[in-house]
Chain A
Amino acid sequence: MNHQPFEDWLLNDKNLTSPEKRELDLHLRTCTHCTALSATGLALRSANVIAPAAGFTVRFQERLAIQKVAERRRKLWGMMVLLIGGAGLLSWFAAPYIYTFISSPVEWFTAAIGYFLFIITSLQALTQVVSVLARILPDFIPPYMWMVFISALAGFGLLWTISIWRFSRRTPQGVSA
């Protein structure tokens, strides 16, 4: 028998029968490559398992506690930065309005009531336009166009949901479900 089958037996860690073992022993006397393969296989199979130094679990618990404190601190700092930043941005945008409100409150109240009335009347007008369109449009737009429109909306919705799902499922290297 030539060299290749013996190499395959050794590489695949094949369970050998007695005649096969004898054949392999004969081959090992003449083939240095297969002898090395056999020796490394034996060495790998007999290599022992190394245990960590005593107290590994205690050291892990300490590390976990430190990690938890650091995580809490990071969250707190994040929240504070967000709150202070948000408050700063809001006050920067609102400063001119607050200033005018403090200097002439009556004028501001009149303007605010005017805006409020404008929004209410605009909403009423919009409702009327929508109800008129809802009565007229179905006669002009064929049903299949409605179906295309609704399908496109559903497609976009699905795409958006999948993107968010994929983004939220991102995990560090090696950690998988």
Chain B
Amino acid sequence: MNEEMAWVIQAQQGSDEAFTHLVETYQTPVFNLCYRMLGEPDLAEDAAQETFLRAFQHLHRYDQKRPFATWLLSIAAHYCIDRLRRRKFSMFSMDAEDDEGNTFELPDPDSPDPEAESVKGQTRDRIQAMLKDLDNTDRAAIIMRYWYDYSEAEIAESLRLTVSAVKSRLHRARKELAGLWQEEETRAETERRPYESPAF
């Protein structure tokens, strides 16, 4: 039995300390999934905390034959999808905004080269901005596939879909992202053109 399973069993028997170990281990993957799904650090923090609370309350239902991470990320994904569905009817924006409506970027705590990090940051923001245009379940599938290297079967199990449905959702989402990428490239090129010298 590995250390993680020992913590799970102890937590199932009511040990708060064991569950704290699990929170420490999985805080980053759960937070990252929530952030990629919701797009705002505050909402992601709240969703990640709620995911762990739900997991704690329903730990007795966890089937030890399944990987714990899959179970946990499945709770997080469903919670975020549910939250986005509810938020769809409200007026809030998906962009990270402050009280005055200005967007902000997440600070990178260990950035060694500012220029390289800036380029990386731009691509990261671009991907994050494009993710918000995807259908909620498609977005969850994409995040599980590319951030967690989940197989189509694992995604299907987590999102309660069939493997073929996952495959078609992934393809659709990838095509949509490519379309958005192309649109942005065209827009950027149009914006660049007026400043270019006619000689070139």
In angstroms, Cα B20 to Cα A72, docked, is 21
Q: Nearest chain A CB to B71's CB is how many angstroms away?
A: 8
Closest to B107 in A: A53
- State whether the Cβ of B132 lies closer than 8 Å to any Cβ in chain A: no
In angstroms, Cα B75 to Cα A173, docked, is 8
In angstroms, Cα B182 to Cα A49, docked, is 25
Interface residue stretch chosen among A58-66, A118-126, A131-139: A58-66
* Chain A 111-130 interface 0/1 with B at a Cβ cutoff of 8 Å (1 = within): 00000000000000000000
Q: Nearest chain A CB to B191's CB is how many angstroms away?
A: 18
| Contact of A53 with B49 in the complex, beta carbons under 8 Å | no
Interface residue stretch chosen among A21-29, A37-45, A142-150: A37-45
Chain A binding surface SS class: helix
In the complex, which range does the number of interface residues on chain B fall in? 35 or more
* Given contact pairs A173-B78, A175-B58, A51 touches B124 in the complex (Cβ within 8 A): no
- State whether the Cβ of A2 lies closer than 8 Å to any Cβ in chain B: no
| Contact of A44 with B27 in the complex, beta carbons under 8 Å | no
Chain A residues with Cβ below 8 Å from B127 are 40, 43-44, 47
Q: Nearest chain B CB to A8's CB is how many angstroms away?
A: 9
Chain A residues with Cβ below 8 Å from B170 are 11
A11, A32, A36, A64: the one contacting B16 at CB < 8 Å is: A64
| Contact of B53 with A67 in the complex, beta carbons under 8 Å | yes
| Contact of A51 with B79 in the complex, beta carbons under 8 Å | no
Q: Nearest chain B CB to A144's CB is how many angstroms away?
A: 44
- State whether the Cβ of A33 lies closer than 8 Å to any Cβ in chain B: yes
Q: Nearest chain A CB to B173's CB is how many angstroms away?
A: 10
Chain A residues with Cβ below 8 Å from B171 are 11
A36, A39, A57: the one contacting B27 at CB < 8 Å is: A57
In angstroms, Cα B105 to Cα A82, docked, is 52
B62, B78, B120: the one contacting A174 at CB < 8 Å is: B78
- State whether the Cβ of B138 lies closer than 8 Å to any Cβ in chain A: no
- State whether the Cβ of B106 lies closer than 8 Å to any Cβ in chain A: yes
- State whether the Cβ of B177 lies closer than 8 Å to any Cβ in chain A: yes
Chain A residues with Cβ below 8 Å from B23 are 56-57, 60
* Given contact pairs A56-B48, A57-B20, A46 touches B123 in the complex (Cβ within 8 A): yes
Q: Nearest chain A CB to B136's CB is how many angstroms away?
A: 13
- State whether the Cβ of A52 lies closer than 8 Å to any Cβ in chain B: yes
Number of interface residues of A (CB under 8 A): 35
* Chain B 10-53 interface 0/1 with A at a Cβ cutoff of 8 Å (1 = within): 00000010001001100111011001100001001100110011
| Contact of A57 with B106 in the complex, beta carbons under 8 Å | no
* Given contact pairs A171-B58, A173-B82, A174-B75, A51 touches B181 in the complex (Cβ within 8 A): no
Closest to B48 in A: A52
A57, A59, A175: the one contacting B24 at CB < 8 Å is: A57
| Contact of B78 with A40 in the complex, beta carbons under 8 Å | no
- State whether the Cβ of A19 lies closer than 8 Å to any Cβ in chain B: no
User: What residues of chain B have their CB less than 8 Å away from a CB belonging to chain A?
Assistant: 16, 20, 23-24, 27-29, 31-32, 35-36, 41, 44-45, 48-49, 52-56, 58, 61-63, 71, 74-79, 82, 106, 120, 123-124, 126-127, 130, 142, 146-147, 160, 170-171, 174-175, 177-179, 181-182, 185
6 contacts between A and B (CB under 8 A): A37-B174, A51-B32, A52-B27, A60-B27, A171-B58, A175-B54
User: What residues of chain A have their CB less than 8 Å away from a CB belonging to chain B?
Assistant: 10-11, 32-33, 36-37, 39-41, 43-53, 56-57, 59-61, 63-64, 67, 171-177
Q: A40-B177, A48-B124 are in contact. List 4 more A-B contacts (CB 8 A).
A: A33-B182, A47-B124, A59-B49, A174-B74
